[in-house]
């Protein structure tokens, strides 16, 4: 049953995202007068479909993408010079056809997340609570500025803060280099100055180094990971790590992250009984940190937003995800970060299955996230991707003439090789994670 749910969710999620992407190309092609021969969900042999007008609408055998075949699109085929051929249209019209696919994915990313906020999203209850700092990361910007656990955030810059939701939103959207924070410590207010150095922020994982209170209580365990294998159970309260008292979940994870491959001893409290477990954090090849497969228990509440606020929240969410995605890709390209966390179809299937079992809202949220990724990645300037075709059009626009067939074929072959290498790497990562101990 679990496998069937995963397969169905994978086909539905990927199929819909491919459909809206290809429909974008198709819609603009028809709008500007380009003849479309094939609209296909999937690659390879035709499974079923129907023909209407000049277009064969089909579902094909390999469900890992799709395509729209237009008249005059393939430079190796003879052109008639007909106005309904892709090559006969102006650069602006061809550009519109190319970018329409990823643009549709970006639109649906926003629409999906609007649905999530409008129908209700589970949010931690601490977001509505007073912004009391629960833990300060050692050697972070916050610690260097003098902030302490227990401080209550009164204001960030010129904005008054009454709850964590406001504080986190401000931090996520601010672009200032120096930030003045006013906190209440015991019975007096103190101002501290935070220097938002980009290099230091990157070293600290993009955080300022202060976190809301999060009790060290186990919520979920990943099957087959060190914590589950050692015998830790949901509901266990972590009271000590290597003999040192633990007060907060973030304090626990900080030590675990810095102990990859090093045995640690956890002391927990379970129904009034104290138990000890020895386990070794698994090193993640992507970031080099240690993980034991535990998630914290958090009290949540379902929060529904009005339509206007849902739109606003969706735009903020997608902008944040865009920054994170592009930032990660840049770090991978420049060698600042490993690409081990890049996932392929197996990872998508696993996430889709898990989301489907969790509920419709979680599945819609995943579809929004993946739609954004598909839109952004297709805009990368890699030949055979939409972004690569945009680059070729830009060269044509600057030079005043199309790139020669021979050069175009070489460029396309290079692009295809790059794309296949990326896909092979992603699938290798999927398989490695699947069979990892």
Q: Which of 1-15, 25-39, 419-433 has the lowest mean pLDDT?
A: 419-433
Instruction: Say whether both 131 and 114 belong to one domain.
Output: no
Average confidence (pLDDT) over 194-222: 75
Least trusted range by pLDDT, from 152-156, 192-196, 228-232, 292-296: 192-196
> Is the residue at 343 inside a domain?
no
Q: Tell me, what's the pLDDT at 434?
A: 60
User: Are residues 7 and 114 both part of a single domain?
Assistant: yes
Tokens 């056809």 belong to 97
CA angle 215, 129, 256 (to 5 degrees): 25
223 with 283, same domain? yes
Contact, 55 vs 36, CB < 8 A? yes
The CATH number assigned to the domain holding 226 equals 2.30.42.10
Q: Which residue has the tokens 């699947």?
A: 434
Beta bridge partners of 52: 55
- In this structure, the answer to whether residues 100 and 140 fall within a common structural domain is no
CB-CB contact of 147 with 136 (8 Å): yes
- pLDDT above 60: residue 198: no
Q: Are 346 and 430 in contact (CB under 8 A)?
A: yes
User: How confident is the model over 365-369, as a mean pLDDT?
Assistant: 91
What pLDDT digit, counting tens, does each position of 174-191 carry?
Answer: 766 788 889 999 889 989
Angle between helices 386-399 and 405-435 (to 10 degrees): 160
Percent of the chain with pLDDT over 90: 41
When pLDDT is cut at 50, 70 and 90, the band that residue 345 belongs to is: confident
The confidence score (pLDDT) of residue 1 equals 63
Same domain assignment for residues 83 and 182: no
Span 87-92, mean pLDDT? 87
Q: What is the pLDDT of residue 78?
A: 72
Residue 327 placed within a domain: no
Q: Average of pLDDT values for 65-73?
A: 86
> What's the domain range around 16?
2-118+368-435
Residue 377, pLDDT above cutoff 50: yes
How far is it, in rounded angstroms, from Cα 437 to Cα 427? 18
Q: How far apart are CA 88 and CA 70, in angstroms?
A: 12
Tokens of 305: 């937003």
| 316 within some domain | no
Residues pairing with 256 in the sheet: none
Residues 35 and 130 in one domain: no
* Count of domains forming the chain: 3
Q: pLDDT of 130-164, one tens digit each?
A: 999 999 988 888 888 888 999 999 998 888 999 99
Residue 340 clears pLDDT 80, i.e. is over it: no
Rounded to 5 degrees, what are φ and ψ at 77? -90, 145
pLDDT category of residue 106 using cuts at 50, 70 and 90: very high
The answer to whether residues 101 and 29 belong to one domain is yes
Residue 204: the pLDDT is: 47
**Does 398 map to a domain?**
yes
Backbone angles phi, psi at 48, to 5 degrees: -165, 170
Residues 105 and 10 in one domain: yes
pLDDT at 374 over 60: yes
Task: Tell me which of 22, 85, 228, 251 is the catalytic residue.
Answer: 22
Tokens for 418, please give them.
């790059």
Asked whether the predicted pLDDT for residue 319 surpasses 70, the reply is: yes
What mean pLDDT, rounded, does the chain reach? 86
Long-range interactions of 311-315: CB distance < 8 A, separation 24+: 311/110, 311/114, 313/113, 313/114, 313/117, 314/110, 314/111, 314/113, 314/114, 314/116, 314/117, 314/368, 315/110
Query: Is 304 part of any domain?
Result: no
Does 165 participate in catalysis according to the annotation?
no
Residues 170 and 222 in one domain: no
375: burial class by Cβ within 10 Å (0-12, 13-18, 19+)?
A: buried
Residue 95, token pair as written in the block = 């550009």
Q: Is the pLDDT of residue 98 over 80?
A: yes
C-alpha R_g of the chain: 26
228 and 258 within one domain: yes
> Quick check: is 341 in a domain?
no
**Band of residue 214 on the pLDDT scale cut at 50, 70, 90:** very high
Whether the pLDDT of residue 88 is over 70: the answer is: yes
d(C-alpha 379, C-alpha 331), whole Å: 18
pLDDT bin (cut points 50, 70, 90) of residue 205 is low
Phi, psi values for residue 68, rounded to 5°: -120, 120
CB 68 within 8 A of CB 26: yes
d(CA 70, CA 396): 20
- Across the range 198-206, mean pLDDT stands at 53
Q: Which pLDDT belongs to residue 262?
A: 92
């Amino acid at each position: 049953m679990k496998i069937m749910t995963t397969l169905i969710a994978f086909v539905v999620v990927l199929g819909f995202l491919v459909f809206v992407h290809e429909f974008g190309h198709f819609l603009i092609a028809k709008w500007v007068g380009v003849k479309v021969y094939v609209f296909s969900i999937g690659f390879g042999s035709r499974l079923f479909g129907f023909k209407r007008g000049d277009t064969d609408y089909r579902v094909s055998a390999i469900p890992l993408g799709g395509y729209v075949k237009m008249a005059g699109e393939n430079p190796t085929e003879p052109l008639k010079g007909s106005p309904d051929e892709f090559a006969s249209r102006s650069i602006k019209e061809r550009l519109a056809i190319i970018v329409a696919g990823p643009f549709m994915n970006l639109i649906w990313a926003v629409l999906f997340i609007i649905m999530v906020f409008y129908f209700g999203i589970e949010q931690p209850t601490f977001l509505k609570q007073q912004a009391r700092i629960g833990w300060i990361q050692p050697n972070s910007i916050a610690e260097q500025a003098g902030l302490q656990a227990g401080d209550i955030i009164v204001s960030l810059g010129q904005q008054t803060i009454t709850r964590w939701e406001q504080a986190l939103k401000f931090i996520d959207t601010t672009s200032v280099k120096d930030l003045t924070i006013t906190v209440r410590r015991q019975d007096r207010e103190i101002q501290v100055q935070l220097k938002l150095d980009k290099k230091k922020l990157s070293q600290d994982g993009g955080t300022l180094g202060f976190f809301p209170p999060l009790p060290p209580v186990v919520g979920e365990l990943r099957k087959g990971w060190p914590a589950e294998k050692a015998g830790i159970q949901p509901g266990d309260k972590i009271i000590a790590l290597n003999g040192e008292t633990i007060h907060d979940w973030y304090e626990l994870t900080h030590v675990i992250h810095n102990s990859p491959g090093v045995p640690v001893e956890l002391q927990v409290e379970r129904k009034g009984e104290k138990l000890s477990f020895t386990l070794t954090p698994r090193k993640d090849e992507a970031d080099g940190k240690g993980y034991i497969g535990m998630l914290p228990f958090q009290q949540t509440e379902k929060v529904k937003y009005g339509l206007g606020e849902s739109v606003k929240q969706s735009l903020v969410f997608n902008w944040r995800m865009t920054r994170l995605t592009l930032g990660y890709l840049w770090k991978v390209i420049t060698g600042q970060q490993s690409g081990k966390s890049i996932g392929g179809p197996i990872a998508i299937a696993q996430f889709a299955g898990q989301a489907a079992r969790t509920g419709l809202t979680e599945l819609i949220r995943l579809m929004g996230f993946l739609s954004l990724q598909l839109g952004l990645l297709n805009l990368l300037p890699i030949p055979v991707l939409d972004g690569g075709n945009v680059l070729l059009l830009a060269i044509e626009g600057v030079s005043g003439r199309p790139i020669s067939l021979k050069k175009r074929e070489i460029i396309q072959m290079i692009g295809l090789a790059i794309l296949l290498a990326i896909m092979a790497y992603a699938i290798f990562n999927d398989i490695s994670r699947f069979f990892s101990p």
